Amino acid sequence: MYTKSFVITLFVALLCYSCNSQNAAVKNLNPDSFEKGIANSNVQLVDVRTPEEYTEKHIANAVNINVNDNDFDKRMGALDKSKPTYIYCLVGGRSKKAADWAAEHGFTEVYNLEKGINSWTSAKKPVVTATGKAPSEGMSFDDFISYIKNSNKQLVIVDFNAVWCGPCKLLKPAVINTAQKNTDKLELLDIDVDKNPEISRAMNIQNIPLLILYKQGKEVWRNLGLVDEKTIASKIAQYSK
């Protein structure tokens, strides 16, 4: 017959075992190991930051599922639990939360990027923007002009912005949505004015957000401040004729 103290001891032991083992499937990886892992085509790569952070830069082929959104459980749960799942955020805190959730909900292999995308970029690993291209940083004014003139698309829309700019963050989804709906004729160039000071000085950019639309290398429209997606789309339609 079990004594009361024995039952309590057994319960505590089981509880401790459960707490220590529930996240056993989560493996923390440094950037080199993480990069090697996601090179396999049979993996799921998840960026659990906000859409704004994801838009600015992310690891190529990552799907954005914000860990702090109300629908996180639903969207994360819709992934294939049998596939290796690689998760990252900015510095590692949010991705740990998401990785623990995945391990607790039946994902068989879960990998967390140590210290997040900050460690990834510090290790000189590649990132892309929402349009799938490398973010423009340190671009010279000559490179900027060459880019505009030599684009293989009929139109180029340049979004001048900055990470600290609230209106820029509000405008960005409309710009990205428009660009993604017009990929056959429009190219989006995202310019962070702080990371591209030479361009900012040469063009005397004093205020942001600023959109400039170019057609075959020549400016045809600009907008300073917020503007809705419908207006941007109408300008694309107007100048693509």
- For the annotated catalytic residues, the residue numbers are 165, 168
Which residue type occupies 219?
E
Q: Which of 120, 138, 47 is nearest to 86 (CA)?
A: 47
Residue that has been written with the tokens 């020549």 in this structure: 218
Cα–Cα distance, 138 to 131 (Å, whole number): 19
Cα–Cα distance, 47 to 27 (Å, whole number): 16
Radius of gyration of the chain (CA): 23
Q: Token digits for 201?
A: 């000085």
Residue that has been written with the tokens 């690993």 in this structure: 125
Name every residue whose Cβ is closer than 8 Å to that of residue 183 and which is 6 or more positions away in sequence.
none
